[in-house]
Amino acid sequence: MPSAARAALPLGVGLVLLAAVGGCASHASPGAAPGAGATTRTITVTSSADACRLSATTAPSGSLTFSVSNAGGDVTEFYLLRADGTVVGEVEDIGPGLSRDLVVQAGPGSYTAACKPGMTGEGVRQPFTVTDSGTPVPSLQSSTETDAS
Amino acid sequence: MLANFLIGLREGLEAALVVGILVAYLARLNRRELLPALWSGVAVAVGVSLAFGALLTFGPSGLGFEAQEALGGTLSILTVGLVTWMIFWMARTARHLKGDLQHELDGAVAVGRRAVLVVALMAVGREGLETALFLWSGAQATGRGSAAPLVGAALGLAVAVGLGWALYKGSIHLDLRKFFGWTGMFLVLIAAGVLAYGVHDLQEAGVLPGLGSLAFDVSRAVPPTSWYGTLLKGVFSFSPETTWLQAVVWVLYVVPVMTFFVRIAWARPRAGAPARPQPTAVTAA
């Protein structure tokens, strides 16, 4: 189906753009030193109607995976926020009984983790600390959280 | 199950409605030979989304947040461009119509196979990855012993497709001018919503400022997880917590495009005097 293949171009372009952006958590970080600290840390998060339980409230800087499961009866979402309230990462539409991952590149600093059952309001918040692991953190933005190193 | 049903419905609704309108166009224009192109666009979008979603869900690496937002934002803006082109094309088509003379369209309307395919591809592909990730997380839950979330999501998507089909069935018998006029106005509102949604994505990614300054917050009156919140979000990408930038961009899109569309598509042609003299119109009159 040559015409279909040709029209797949926009999506293809999107995927290439993705690769260029370097968003894949474990592979696409050529700058990351192999060995200690290069692996992805996983923090499990359990969101319920009135609680947001994290398996750890501190993690070393680098690539972090928040594995968020919804134990409540309403749709939930999870945010990692910087001290100034801007969003580091967010995963939404976690239906009851589902579990979804949020992958972020986080530099050292103080953050806030928030579960938002019902996907509205401030949500259930708690502090989250990222310590300096020495791993360089790739960032797209004129990052507020990484001291450009 | 209901909550997952509503997510499935919301994710599928906008794409189903746009595809429904597109199928109805092709049927009304007697261009049914373009339907295979349309369905291959849909199939490619669904296939690529599911494959990529599976890779991210079950593969060794997840997709970073920035990359996901950048992809979502980019696809949204491309989709708005394509749908806007489709709206202007409809406005031109509607202007050429006098009553319900189908054959006049044949010369006036040229729409290519590629265009149809790409519009269908983008309409479905825009939210495709997000929907695929949601479905695969349902599949994972099924693996852990609970099929309810996946069943709910699949039923929601099925209802969305059903509503797209109903729109097709409902609009297919409208007077041709009315058909183009109404579906075009509907598309203007859909596209404006997608644009505002894309702006919000870029605000969350930190590319655009102003995430914290809300123009209004009606999330108490319209909870995002309610059925009406779901429908508003699914069709018009309405966000109960809308930022000022989103609101301004929405208005800046809707006002000129809607004005332009209504003036062209709904301009009443004086009887016997078409807006542009055409050989076919003369012989028909």
Share the mean pLDDT of chain B: 85
| Nearest residue in A to B211, CA atom | A86
Yes or no: say if B16 and B163 are a contact pair by the CB < 8 Å rule.
yes
Least CB–CB distance from A93: residue in B61, B134, B206: B134
> Which pLDDT score, from 0 to 100, does residue A131 have?
93
Number of folded domains in chain B? 1
pLDDT of residue A40: 66
What mean pLDDT value characterizes chain A?
75
Search chain A and give the residue with CA nearest B139: A98
Q: Give residue B106's pLDDT.
A: 53
Higher pLDDT, B217 or B115: B217
From chain B, pick out residues whose CB is under 8 angstroms from the CB of A98: 4, 134, 137-138, 140-141, 149
| Residue that has been written with the tokens 């609680």 in this structure | A51
What percent of chain B has a predicted confidence (pLDDT) above 70?
A: 88
Whether residue A84 lies inside any domain: the answer is yes
- With CA atoms as reference, report the closest residue to B275 among B152, B28, B130, B93: B93
Q: Would you say the ipTM is above 0.85? A: no
The pLDDT of residue A8 is above 70 = no
Query: In sequence order, what E strands does chain B have?
Result: 214-217, 241-243
Each residue's pLDDT tens digit, B40-66: 999 999 999 999 999 988 877 777 887
Query: What does the pLDDT read at residue A20?
Result: 45
Distance separating alpha carbons of residues A66 and A79, to the nearest angstrom = 10
Show Cβ contacts of residue B182 under 8 Å, excluding neighbours closer than 6 positions.
B171, B174
| Least confident segment among A27-41, A63-77, B37-51 | A27-41
Cα→Cα distances B276→A105, B87, B98, B129, B227, Å: 59, 20, 11, 45, 47
Is residue A127 included in any domain, yes or no? yes
| H and E: helices and strands count for chain A | 2, 9
Q: Does residue A29 sit within a domain?
A: no
Q: Per-residue pLDDT tens for B172-187? A: 888 878 888 899 999 9
Q: Which residues contact B46 (CB under 8 A, 6 or more apart)?
A: B124, B128
Banded pLDDT at B35 (limits 50, 70, 90): very high
Contact A18 B219 (CB under 8 A): no
Residue A69 confidence (pLDDT) above 90: yes
The confidence band for B98, taking pLDDT boundaries of 50, 70 and 90, is low
The tokens describing B71, both together, are: 């992809």
CA A145 – CA A112 distance, rounded (Å): 13
Give the integer Cα–Cα distance in Å for B284 and A86: 63
Residue B198 touches partner A, C-beta closer than 8 Å:
no
In-domain check, residue A116: yes
Q: Is A99 on the interface with B (CB under 8 A)?
A: yes
Share of chain A above pLDDT 70, in %: 65
CATH number for position A122:
2.60.40.420
The verdict on a CB contact (< 8 Å) between A95 and B48 is no
CB contacts of B71 in chain A (<8 Å) are 14, 17-18
Range of the domain at A108: 40-134
What is the dihedral sign for C-alpha A70, A73, A77, A79? negative
For residues B91 and B219, the model is more confident at B219
Q: B134 at the A interface (CB within 8 A)?
A: yes
Indicate the pLDDT class of residue A120, thresholds 50, 70 and 90: confident
What are the tokens at B183? Answer: 């579906």
- Structural domain containing residue B10: 2-284
Phi, psi of B64 (to 5 degrees): -65, 155
Q: Write down the pLDDT at residue B9.
A: 94
**B242 pLDDT band (50/70/90 cuts)?**
very high
Residue A142 lies in a domain: no
pLDDT of residue B237: 92
Q: In this complex, how many residue pairs, one in chain A and one in chain B, have their CB atoms less than 8 Å apart?
A: 163
Confidence of residue A139 (pLDDT cuts 50, 70, 90): low
Q: If you average pLDDT over each of A137-141, B103-107, B235-239, which comes out highest? A: B235-239
Interface test with A, best of B211, B225, B239 (most A CBs within 10 A): B225
Q: What residues contact B53, with CB distance under 8 A and at least 6 apart?
A: B129, B131, B132, B133, B135, B136
Distance (Å, rounded) from C-alpha B212 to C-alpha B197? Answer: 15
Residue B89's pLDDT band (boundaries 50, 70, 90)? Answer: confident
Residue with more model confidence, A147 or A63: A63
Query: Which two tokens mark B124?
Result: 């479905």
Query: Element (H or E) spanning B260, and its range?
Result: helix B244-265
* Nearest residue in chain A measured CA to CA from B126: A11
SS3 state of residue A58: strand
Does residue B281 have a pLDDT over 80?
no
Residue A140 lies in a domain: no
Asked if residue B102 has pLDDT above 60, the reply is: no
List the single range of A38-47, B77-86, B137-146 with lowest mean pLDDT: A38-47
Residue B275 pLDDT > 70:
no
Highest-pLDDT range among A79-88, A135-144, B187-196: B187-196
For residue A41, pLDDT over 90 is answered with: no
Mutate to test the interface with A, among B57, B137, B144 (most CBs of A within 10 A): B137
Determine phi and psi for B145, rounding to 5 degrees. Answer: 110, 0
Q: Alpha helix locations (H) across B29-58?
A: 35-58
Interface of B with A in 58-117 (CB under 8 A): 60-68, 70-71, 74-75, 78, 113-114, 117
pLDDT of residue A138: 67
Q: Does residue A77 lie within any of the structural domains?
A: yes
pLDDT at position B279 is 45
pLDDT band at A35; cut points 50, 70, 90: very low
Q: How far is B114 from chain A (nearest CA, A)?
A: 7
Q: pLDDT tens digit string along B184-203?
A: 999 999 999 999 999 998 88
Quote the number of domains for chain A.
1
CA B238/CA B190 separation, integer angstroms: 10
| Partner residue opposite B66 with nearest CB, options A6, A23, A63 | A23
